Amino acid sequence: MGTFSIWHWVIVLAVVLVLFGGSGKISSLMGDMAKGIKSFKKGLAEDADEDKEAARVKSLHHDAEEPATAAKSKSKVSS
């Protein structure tokens, strides 16, 4: 059998059977990987949405305080 002994071929055959045999192990692994990537992207999108919401609330809060601080500064200047 050339340079490979029978044990080399047995090991190669075992590796091929583990990788490609059975119930589509590689396709199920790739499906699980795709689900993980989708979940990761969804988590990033939710974090970005939460950050935008927090910034909007903060800006609304800041805008609501601004006229009051302007009135205080005007009263201090006129005093």
* Span 67-79, pLDDT tens digits: 555 555 555 555 5
Q: Residue 78 CA to chain centroid, in angstroms?
A: 55
Are 19 and 26 spatial neighbours (Cβ–Cβ below 8 Å)? Answer: yes
pTM above 0.75, yes or no: no
Per-residue pLDDT tens for 40-51?
999 888 887 887
Q: CA 22, CA 66: separation in Å to the nearest integer?
A: 68
